[in-house]
Structure 1
Amino acid sequence: MSTPAIRAVLVDDEVLARLSLRQALAAHPQVDIAGECGNAADALQAIRLLHPDLVILDIQMPGMNGFELLRRLPADALPLVVFASAFDQHALQAFDAGAVDYLLKPIDQARFDLCMQRIGQRLHRLSQHATPPRHTAFAAAEPFVQRFSIRVGEHLRVVRVEDIDWIAADGNYVRLHLAGTALLHRDTLKNVEATLDPARFLRIHRSTMVNIDRIKEWHPLFHGDAEIVLHDGTRLTLSRRFRDGARHRLGLR
C-alpha cells in the first residue's frame, strides 16, 4: 500500500532557495510539491486554493513576512509549517507561532530528513483523529474586511474598502484617503494591513499602502526607489524595500 502524498507549498522570494528545497525534497518521494511562491501575498492565495498539508516558509520577504502570513490564515485550518531562514534569531518566535520545525539555510540534508520524519509523524497522528477537511474552515472564514466604520464628529461614516485610494500611517493611527478626503481611522497600519486583501492593497512604504486598482504609472528613481502615480494625480514613494514585491504584483519585468 503506497504512502499518501504530502501536499507541500514552498514559499521563498529567492529562486535558488526554492531550488535548494526542491533538491532536499527529492529524497522524499511521498511529498508532492503543489506550488511555489516568491512572496507571502501569493502564498496566501495559494494556500487558500491548494489546501496543502505542509508549508515550508521563509521569514524575511518583501512586503509581508512569514509571520504576518500565518496571522492571516484561520488558526483552525493552518497547514503544518516549517520555517527555513538564514537567521537563527527568529527560532523562538517561529515555535511560538506553531511551527513544527525551524531549518537554517543553507539546507543540511541530514537535518532536513529529520524534519521530514517529524512531519510524517505529525501527519500520521492527525490522521488518527476524525476531523473535517482542512479546507472547510477556509470556506467558512471571511478573511478580509469589506468596510471600515470611521468616527466623524458625532457619527460613524461607513467606508467601503474598494473606495479607498491609499492609506498612510499617522502616528499610531492611519488616514484613509478617498475621493479627495482623508479620514482618520484609530488603528495602526500593521493591524489595518492584516485585515485587507493583499490582492487589492499593496504595501509600498513602511508608512504607506495603496489600492492597486488606483495605480496609473510607475517611475523609477535613484537608489532603487520609485514613484507611484495614482489616477487622481497623487504621487507616492515606493521604497526600495518593497520594490520587488511591487514589481511582481504590477506585472513589471
Structure 2
Amino acid sequence: MTSPDERSQSIHVLVVDDEALARRNLTLLLRKDPDIASIIECSSGLEAIEEIRRSRPDLVFLDVQMPECDGFDVFEILGADMPETVIFVTAYDAYALRAFEAGALDYLLKPFDDARFHRALARAKEKLARYAPTQRRSISRIAVKSRNQTLFLDVSDIDWIEAASYYACIHIGAATHILRRTLQELEQDLDARTFARIHRSIIVNLDRVRGLELQDGGEYEVVLNSGERLRLSRRYRKRIQERLGELAGGR
C-alpha cells in the first residue's frame, strides 16, 4: 500500500523573506520538486499576512528577521489563520526554541545545503499528506438572479469581476451579470490559482490574460484576450507578474 507521503501531492507554497537572493534560492529548489504546484513570494511580513489570508497556502517558508513585521509577528497577527505547516528560515540559531514553541515544523539555518532543505521539505510533505484536514475547495458555478430566472454561470467562463459597492459585476464576454455579494466575499470562493486581484476593486481570470502593457505614465494595464484593458494597481503588480510568469512556465 502506498504511504501518504508517497502519494502525488499538489502543494502551494509561500516564500517570505526580505532578501531577494534568499527567496530566489528557495524558489529554485522548490521548482525542482514535481509536487510543488505553485510558488508565491513575499518580501515582507505585512505582505505575507495579506497573501496568506487571500490564497491560504499549504506550506510557508518564513524568514524570522524582517523589518516592521518579523516572522513571529506574522504568527501572532494571523493566529488561527496561520497555515499549520511552516518552516522558519533564518541566519540566527537563537530563535530556534521560540520557533518550535510557536508551532513551526522545522527550522532552516542559513546557509543550508540542498540535503538539509530536502529533509525539511520531506517532513512538510509528509505532514500535509497525513494531516491536511481538507483539500482547498472552490466553487465551479455561480447562481445569479436575473429578472424572473436564475442563471448558473460556469466560473471558468468568467473574464473579470468588478466591485460595485455591495455588489459584484461579473463579466463574461460582452455580458455583465450582477451578483449581490461583495468582491471580498466572492474572492474567498474562487480558486486562488486561477483568479487574482489586480486592483482593490478588480479580480481577473488569469487564463484570460493576454499580457501586461506599460503606459506612458509608468502604470501597467492588464490586457485580456477579449481586448479589454484593466488597470493594474502598483500594490498588486509584482504579485501578478510572478503569477503570470508561473503560468508561462507551465506551473
* Shared fold, TM over 0.5: yes
CA distance in 2, matches of 1:95, 1:63: 11
Kindly indicate whether residue 198 of structure 2 is the aligned counterpart of residue 204 of structure 1.
yes
CA distance in 2, matches of 1:215, 1:19: 25
TM-score (ref. length: structure 2): 0.61
Map of 2:52 onto structure 1: 66
1:201-247 Cα shifts (integer Å, max 9, x gaps): 22211111111222224211256521122222211111111111121
Q: 1:136 to 1:176 in 2, by over 3 A?
A: farther
CA distance in 2, matches of 1:67, 1:147: 23
Q: 1:136 to 1:172 in 2, by over 3 A?
A: farther
Map of 2:15 onto structure 1: 11
1:61 maps to a residue whose letter is E
TM-score (ref. length: structure 1): 0.61
1:76-127 Cα shifts (integer Å, max 9, x gaps): xx76996855334766422343578x9x99x57244222344378989xxxx
Map of 1:230 onto structure 2: 224
Map of 2:109 onto structure 1: none
Structure 2 counterparts to residues 16-35 of structure 1, below 5 A: 16=21, 18=23, 35=30
Please say if residues 144 and 196 of structure 1, whose CA atoms lie closer than 8 Å, have aligned partners that are also in contact. Answer: yes
CA distance in 2, matches of 1:122, 1:134: 11
Structure 2 counterparts to residues 86-125 of structure 1, below 5 A: 86-88=67-69, 92-98=76-82, 109-118=92-101
1:27-52 Cα shifts (integer Å, max 9, x gaps): xxxxxx9838xxxxxxx9459xxxxx
CA distance in 1, matches of 2:180, 2:82: 30
Map of 2:139 onto structure 1: 145
Please say if residues 197 and 204 of structure 2, whose CA atoms lie closer than 8 Å, have aligned partners that are also in contact. Answer: yes
Structure 2 counterparts to residues 140-179 of structure 1, below 5 A: 141=135, 143-179=137-173
Q: Secondary structure, in 3 states, of the residue corresponding to 1:87?
A: coil
1:171 positional shift: 0.6
CA distance in 2, matches of 1:122, 1:246: 29
Map of 1:50 onto structure 2: none
Please say if residues 57 and 66 of structure 1, whose CA atoms lie closer than 8 Å, have aligned partners that are also in contact. Answer: no
CA distance in 1, matches of 2:37, 2:136: 14
1:151-176 Cα shifts (integer Å, max 9, x gaps): 11232110001111110011122110
CA distance in 1, matches of 2:82, 2:209: 37
CA distance in 1, matches of 2:94, 2:199: 37
How many matched pairs?
204
1:86 maps to a residue whose letter is P
